[in-house]
Amino acid sequence: MRITILGGGGFLGRKLAVRLAADGTLGGRPITELTLFDLAAPTAPAAPFPIRCLGGDVADPATVRQAIPPGTEVVVHLAAVVSAQAEADYDLGMRVNLQGTLAVLEACRALAASGAPPPRVIFTSSVASFGGGQDANLPDDARQLPGNSYGAEKAVAELLLQDASRKGFLDAVSIRLPTVIIRPGRPNKAASSFVSGILREPLLGLETELPVPEDFSVWVCSPRQAVAWFLHAMAMDTAPLGLDRGINPPGLSVTVQAMLDGLARAAGPAARALVRASPDPAVAAIVGGWPASFTAERGRRLGFTEQPGIDAIIAAFLADDLPATKAERGM
């Protein structure tokens, strides 16, 4: 089985690649080749199968065709410009998040036209493709009504991939990821970056700013859980999806206060004290429109497992990512 990860140099792409390398199989079948693609060529983990590492522009169709060679059966499309960056730079967001997805669609269409089975495409959509805000607990049939360019680009891409699945060009599963915490490494340009920052930075012994009130709620999942969802989507039977290829996976709705209480349980009151209030209306305007909760009943029925509580999320970061984050930041 040949697999391609677009965005293979990002933190979720790297984690997924390491997991595939460790498992050596997907859905009971041996992996014969893995391609990792990003803006700069990623570093390959040790694996019992060949790994190709390519760098390039995901919006360039010729480059994407190289990353999705004949024989590819699964494509995991993680490549994206994140929320606040896409809002600030409209052209960049449209190029990467929309034109990039069109390039992926056309590469997969070419494979299907050659007589090969339509490749499975796992697309990382987002909670940001919905509106509703703090009072929302959205059902599975809720209408996507994004209040930001990033969410709009993700929603449009979902529709295009859904139609491509209907046409037989590919076999899409669009996972509307919650905010993924705790991100290792450094803060990024996502509007939701603070959700990881208020846990990661104090666990490193660093002060950090909180741009929203402590009663602010957010829909989250851990990197471990996101990878588990990817693996399930890569091998699942998609027939029960029918025309609707979008999945709201069962994340966790949690307040900032509950997150900080979990921080105090894990690292003591002194760690919690490193988080200081610093209201940021621009950040609050973006994340405040995202739904705080989903029912996620369909995702559970389709076998997507539940995200455990905030203590488990913090424990996973301490076990999986804290040492590497310290090393990366010279600590």
Cβ neighbours of residue 7 closer than 8 Å, sequence gap 6 or more: 13, 37, 38, 58, 76, 77, 78, 79, 80, 124
150 is catalytic: yes
On whether the CB atoms of residues 106 and 214 are closer than 8 A, the answer is no
Q: Provide the angle, in degrees to the nearest 10, between the axes of the packed helices 256-267 and 310-320.
A: 50
Query: For residues 163 and 179, what is the distance between their CA atoms, to the nearest angstrom?
Result: 26
On whether the CB atoms of residues 42 and 70 are closer than 8 A, the answer is no
| Token pair listed for 166 | 């209907």
Query: For residues 4 and 67, what is the distance between their CA atoms, to the nearest angstrom?
Result: 7
Q: Active-site residue among 123, 130, 150, 169?
A: 150
| Token pair listed for 291 | 């739904």
On whether the CB atoms of residues 57 and 27 are closer than 8 A, the answer is no
Cβ neighbours of residue 188 closer than 8 Å, sequence gap 6 or more: 82
Q: Where are the beta strands (DSSP E) in the chain?
A: 2-6, 25-26, 29-30, 33-38, 51-55, 72-77, 120-126, 171-177, 179-180, 208-210, 217-221, 246-247, 252-255, 275-277
Q: Identify the CA nearest to 287 among candidates 72, 140, 134.
A: 134
Active-site residue list: 150
